[in-house]
Amino acid sequence: MTTPYVKSTIENAICTIEFFHPASNSLPGQVLGDLAKSISAAGADEACRVIVLKSAGEKAFCAGASFDELVAIDDEATGQTFFSGFANVINAIRLCPKFVVGRVQGKAVGGGVGLASAADVAYALKGASVKLSELAVGIGPFVVGPAVERKIGLSAFSLLSVDATSWYSAEWAKEKGLYADIFSTTEEMDNAIEALVKKLAQSSPEAMAELKKVCWQGTEHWDKLLVERAAISGRLVLSDFTREAIEKFKSKS
């Protein structure tokens, strides 16, 4: 597979949203936009009662922002628009009346950690370590930060943000609350996800919608906050430091 995509399927009231990008499931603007639209559409579809969010392949869950798009940004407005793509996905999950279950089969970086954090419940493999690498390229996890902090707390979020070049294990992520559980095999993980979503698919849609609101209390200002954070990243991404750092990362990959 070489063409990025986002696809949704509904079966037995379970909507599975899968995204793919050949560069370790990184997230260009088009994929971000399609993800936000797909999540919102599933939330409005009466045939869907619960959502599984996953990426394709057996390796990386998500490598975060697309480096190719980052280096192509040449003004603050374009930068804010790009980073607002992450804001739109997080807010789509937040506002969706259906629970979103994340399937994290591999490493998550930057925006990928944001996706896992925004999921109402995330299950992962033991190899699904995490890293917030934004500071290392002169930006910062400004847009995904509120979602990550909400899930793992300020202390753990600060550590991930400041120690931007280190990987933190799936065991660490589970201890901090990012992952509900971790598994040794894909089969075990998928069986656990299937058991959970089958129960949710048989639960009251009205009760789940009300419970979702309760779980996300205190985030009502995120529509504005995350866009403001996107503006910060959109400005910083124009720096020479960021451009040089990204080129170094690309040369190593």
CATH number at residue 104: 3.90.226.10
Residue 53 structural domain: 5-189
Residue 45: predicted pLDDT: 98
Q: For the chain, what is the mean pLDDT?
A: 96
Task: Tell whether 25 is covered by a domain.
Answer: yes
- How much of the chain, in percent, has pLDDT values that exceed 70? 100
Task: Tell whether 216 is covered by a domain.
Answer: no
Q: Binning pLDDT at 50, 70 and 90, where does residue 129 land?
A: very high
148 token code pair: 């990550």
Residue 69: predicted pLDDT: 92
- pLDDT one-digit tens code per residue, 67-114: 889 989 999 999 999 999 999 999 999 999 999 999 999 999 999 999
Q: Is 99 left (phi over 0), alpha (psi -120 to 50) or beta?
A: beta
Residue 240: predicted pLDDT: 92
Task: Tell whether 72 is covered by a domain.
Answer: yes
Task: Tell whether 244 is covered by a domain.
Answer: no
Task: Tell whether 217 is covered by a domain.
Answer: no
* CA-based nearest residue to 199, from 64, 12, 40, 23: 12
Task: Tell whether 53 is covered by a domain.
Answer: yes
Specify the length of the chain in residues: 253
* pLDDT of 246 strictly over 90: no
Task: Tell whether 219 is covered by a domain.
Answer: no
Report yes or no: 200 and 50 within 8 Å, Cβ to Cβ.
yes
Residue 253: predicted pLDDT: 62
Q: Is 25 left (phi over 0), alpha (psi -120 to 50) or beta?
A: left
Task: Tell whether 201 is covered by a domain.
Answer: no
Residue 251: predicted pLDDT: 74
pTM for this entry: 0.96
| Rounded CA separation 179/110 (Å) | 16
- pLDDT one-digit tens code per residue, 35-75: 999 999 999 999 999 999 999 999 999 999 998 899 899 99
Domain count for the chain: 1
